[in-house]
């Protein structure tokens, strides 16, 4: 009985084991078919479904754009994949329409395909900082209007820092939701299309460094939401539109302006002429004004008779360099409570330096400096160095507090009140007619990095107290009537003596703190001055 039972158990075990053996593809055509269909789905059907998720019109428009440009490495845009997953592309979730195309600084070369206008759901188009060239398509905007699409969703259009040529095409006014339009740093020419002033929601109009010409129409007042107007370094001419800052005509009511939201105005390096309207003083939202290198040939505006005390209340940068302004420095400059950068260099200003100008609030008490938002200015600006032909761009928010009054005809003594500007970093009084001694109070400017007093009539010795300026990296005093010793200690000990053959051409004391210059700290430099044939003083030698 036991034997029989064991045999039955063995048989049962064998049967169960047989049922547990898994099948393999070799064991039946049905299984093979299922596996084949599974692989075919993932390799063929699934990519097709993914591609179908992107709108076909948008898909083809982007492929057309890709066919006109090249880049290294190339874009991952493939006809067989979902365009919503492509680099720089974003689609909405509802119907997978392209709403953003953002490829700044991607190294794109080529031209813009006109089929880009088929991206009718686009809200952001950013192709800045590339090498795209050629003219902008003539129908870039107008074709959208003619087919009824009107680019109704477009809010930001940035084509700056490329190599585009030709005209700004018409039709931009149909983009009634457009808030930001940037095409600066290209080679665009001609005049602005009239309908650009129909873009009523425009907040930023930035077209700097092109070859755009003509006059600015008074219709610009229709852009009532404008915050940034940046047209520097073009070929605009004629007077600055009087209605940019229109008032009621009542000097006591200068609290109204047509562009009441305007915060940054940069019209520098153009060919504007005529009078600078007093009504500009009424724009209380302005944080930056730059009208550099325009031919106004008149005194600085006299705002002293304006009853309204809060004009320019928020102004932090005032740059009017190279405008041929004449006359004396107006006293209203001292009322600019938040001013950090004042640039009136390369003008025809005469008279003395007002004592009250040395009390600009934000440059004196630390509390005021702490309250100023240093990110107030995003746009770059043309910065003119001591050489009028040597210009460069910087971010305004990175410009240190500074006063530039060089290359004028300002005379008299440098007031001792200059020592109140404790938070100024750059002070340029060069190429004027200042006389007398260098005030010892300059040593109170403990944040000073650059001090240029060259080409004046200053006399006496260089104050020894200046050695306490621990951040000083540039100090220029040639072409004065100075005598005596160069101060020793601190930054002055890092002064490298120039090569003997270059001594007479040495026009500035360049102070540096690099490790390589520490070897010069053992030297004691003496400055000896002599008259040249013009009667001015120049640096003759450094004796060790």
Instruction: Provide the residue ranges of all domains of the chain, joining segments of one domain with +.
Output: 297-367+397-495, 504-543
CA–centroid distance for 233 within its chain: 13
Summarize pLDDT for 101-134 with one digit per residue, the tens: 999 999 999 999 988 888 888 899 999 999 999 9
Span 175-196, average pLDDT: 93
Summarize pLDDT for 77-107 with one digit per residue, the tens: 999 999 999 999 999 988 899 999 999 999 9
Span 255-282, average pLDDT: 74
Span 534-542, average pLDDT: 34
Q: Does residue 385 carry a pLDDT above 50?
A: no
Q: What percent of the chain shows pLDDT beyond 90?
A: 33
Q: In what order do the strands lie in the sheet with 271-273?
A: 69-70, 109-110, 131-135, 163-166, 187-190, 211-214, 235-239, 271-273
Cα–Cα distance for residue pair 345/383, rounded to 1 Å: 11
Q: Does residue 430 carry a pLDDT above 90?
A: yes
Does 530 or 457 have the greater pLDDT score?
Answer: 457
CA distances from 57 to 84, 362, 407 (A): 13, 56, 60
Q: Does residue 512 carry a pLDDT above 90?
A: no
CA angle 513, 401, 272 (to 5 degrees): 120
| C-beta pairs of 110-114 under 8 Å, 24+ apart in sequence | 110/68, 110/69, 110/70, 111/68, 111/69, 112/65, 112/68, 112/136, 112/137, 112/140, 113/61, 113/64, 113/65, 113/67, 113/68, 113/137, 114/139, 114/140, 114/143
Q: Does residue 151 carry a pLDDT above 60?
A: no
Question: Which CATH number is associated with domain 297-367+397-495?
Answer: 3.80.10.10
Count of C-beta atoms within a 10 Å radius of residue 280 = 22
Whether 157 and 181 have beta carbons less than 8 Å apart is answered as: yes
3-state secondary structure of 242: helix
């Amino acid at each position: 009985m036991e034997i029989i039972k064991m045999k039955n158990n063995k048989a049962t075990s064998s049967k169960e084991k047989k049922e547990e053996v898994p099948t393999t593809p070799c064991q039946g055509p049905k299984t093979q078919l299922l596996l084949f269909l599974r692989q075919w789905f993932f390799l063929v059907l699934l990519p097709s479904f993914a591609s179908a998720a992107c709108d076909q019109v948008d898909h083809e428009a982007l492929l057309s754009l890709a066919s006109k440009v090249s880049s290294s490495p190339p874009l991952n845009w493939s006809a067989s994949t979902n365009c919503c997953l492509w680099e720089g592309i974003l689609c909405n979730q509802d119907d997978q329409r392209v709403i953003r195309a953002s490829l700044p600084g991607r190294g794109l070369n080529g031209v813009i395909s006109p089929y880009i206008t088929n991206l009718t759901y686009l809200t952001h188009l950013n192709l800045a900082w590339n090498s795209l060239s050629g003219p902008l398509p003539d129908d870039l905007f107008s074709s959208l209007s003619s087919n009824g699409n009107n680019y109704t969703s477009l809010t930001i259009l940035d084509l700056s820092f490329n190599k585009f040529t030709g005209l700004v095409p018409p039709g931009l006014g149909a983009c009634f939701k457009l808030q930001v339009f940037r095409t600066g740093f290209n080679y665009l020419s001609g005049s602005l299309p009239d309908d650009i002033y129909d873009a009523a929601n425009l907040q930023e109009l930035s077209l700097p460094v092109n070859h755009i010409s003509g006059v600015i129409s008074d219709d610009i007042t229709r852009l009532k939401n404008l915050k940034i107007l940046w047209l520097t370094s073009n070929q605009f001419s004629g007077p600055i539109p009087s209605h940019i800052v229109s008032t009621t005509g009542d000097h006591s009511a200068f609290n109204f302006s047509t562009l009441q939201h305007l915060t940054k105005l940069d019209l520098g390096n153009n060919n504007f002429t005529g009078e600078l309207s007093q009504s500009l003083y009424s724009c209380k939202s302005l944080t930056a004004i730059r009208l550099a290198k325009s031919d106004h040939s008149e005194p600085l505006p006299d705002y002293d008779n304006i009853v309204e005390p809060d004009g320019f209340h928020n102004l932090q940068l005032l740059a009017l360099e190279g405008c041929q302004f004449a006359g004396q420095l107006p006293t209203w400059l001292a009322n600019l409570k938040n001013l950090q950068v004042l640039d009136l260099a390369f003008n025809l200003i005469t008279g003395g330096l007002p004592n009250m100008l040395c009390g600009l609030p934000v440059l004196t008490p630390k509390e005021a400096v702490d309250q100023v938002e240093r990110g107030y200015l995003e746009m770059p600006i043309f910065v003119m160095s001591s050489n009028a032909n040597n210009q460069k761009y910087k971010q305004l928010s990175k410009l240190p507090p500074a006063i530039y009054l060089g290359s004028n005809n300002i005379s008299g003594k440098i007031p001792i009140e200059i020592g109140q500007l404790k938070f100024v970093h750059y002070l340029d009084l060069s190429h004027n007619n200042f006389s007398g001694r260098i005030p010892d109070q300059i040593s109170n400017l403990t944040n000073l990095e650059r001090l240029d007093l060259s080409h004046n009539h200053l006399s006496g010795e260089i104050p020894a107290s200046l050695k306490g300026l621990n951040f000083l990296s540039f100090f220029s005093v040639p072409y004065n009537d100075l005598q005596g010793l160069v101060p020793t200690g601190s930054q002055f000990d890092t002064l490298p003596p120039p090569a003997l053959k270059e001594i007479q051409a040495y026009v500035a004391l360049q102070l540096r703190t690099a490790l390589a210059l520490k070897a010069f700290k053992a030297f004691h430099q003496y400055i000896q001055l002599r008259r040249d044939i013009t009667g001015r003083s120049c640096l003759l030698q450094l004796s060790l």
